[in-house]
Amino acid sequence: MLSREKVNFVMSKQLKDIALQWAGLILVWACSDPTWAQATIKRDGQWRSALGIGGSVSSGNNRSTNLTMTGEAVRATTSSKWSMTGRLLYATAQGDTTTDNKALGFQFNKDVSDEVFASTTLDYLKDQPANLNARLSWLAGPGWHLVDNDDTTIDLTAGLAYTQDQFVHPALVADALRSSYGRGEWMAGEQSTHRLSNSASFRQKLTLFTNTSRTGGSRFVFEAGLSMAINSRMNLTTGYTHHYEKDPGMGLKNSSGLLITGISFKLD
């Protein structure tokens, strides 16, 4: 038979473990700055990926559905990196579609020297509630590794971009009613990754765009994400994306934010 002291010690340890687990969950929720599932990055030339999924359904007085899927695939070597990201968000409330957001991104970086690299990115976005049937952006330019080691990377980029928007309904943009709008843009950005511990990592990215042919036509995209390992395959993730456009079109807000929390699965 266990002594009272032994029982108290076991119960105390169990309560401590539960408290630590809840603290981890609270930390993930509080640090609500990513975006999506985060793949493991190793510079061995192998593809690694992660998939995140979440959803909810409610009925009765408040009928709603919510579906979230995010994914990332990365192939890194000592001198280059391919990355692909995807996001699908869909939600309804009382039978009406409230969210219909799809995004895809492709990026390739190639080192020219230890400090300098060339970068090119192709992004696709569809957000019907924001009157955006499709946005296709291509950008390219040089980059600089400020910090580059296994625990921390900090990169700066600059260059030229071209963006083409297709609207769901004609919108008043750049002083004219348009069904589509294309423009060249100057681009500047920074991004970083941080290994906080053996089980936690954080990343963020900020990209600024300025219209090359129109004064005041600017926008930016900020993304950040926190990932905490549950085991070797599963992670708790929290991500936040913020878009700002100085001239989004009549009747639309300049800023929009998106918070995603859930569980991701590594497919290494």
Q: What is the pLDDT of residue 215?
A: 67
Query: 176 has which bridge partners?
Result: 173
Is the confidence at residue 189, as pLDDT, over 80? yes
pLDDT tens for 14-30 read 544 444 444 444 333 33
Residue given tokens 């699965």 in the structure block: 265
The single-letter code of the amino acid at 246 is K
Whole-structure pTM value = 0.76
Q: What is the pLDDT of residue 25?
A: 40
Q: Where are the domains of the chain?
A: 1-30, 34-266
Lowest mean pLDDT among 103-112, 190-199, 209-218: 209-218
Is the confidence at residue 155, as pLDDT, over 80? yes
Is the confidence at residue 138, as pLDDT, over 90? yes
Q: What is the pLDDT of residue 53?
A: 82
* DSSP-derived pairing of the beta strands 80-93 and 64-76: antiparallel
Average pLDDT over residues 64-90: 91
CB 197 within 8 A of CB 180: no
Residue 186 has which token pair?
């100057």
CB 202 within 8 A of CB 193: yes
Q: What share of the chain in percent tops pLDDT 70?
A: 85
DSSP conformation class of 253: -
Q: What is the pLDDT of residue 35?
A: 42
Residue 82 has which token pair?
């391919």
Q: With respect to CATH, is domain 34-266 assigned 3.90.550.10?
A: no
More confident residue, 86 or 6: 86
pLDDT band at 59 (very low <50, low <70, confident <90, very high): confident
Q: What is the pLDDT of residue 43?
A: 87
Is the confidence at residue 52, as pLDDT, over 90? no
Give whichever of 12-21, 53-62, 72-81, 251-260 has the largest mean pLDDT. Answer: 72-81
H or E segment and range at residue 20: helix 4-30
Q: What is the pLDDT of residue 27?
A: 39
Q: What is the pLDDT of residue 153?
A: 93
CB atoms within 10 A of CB 148: 13
Q: What share of the chain in percent tops pLDDT 90?
A: 46
Q: What is the pLDDT of residue 268?
A: 72
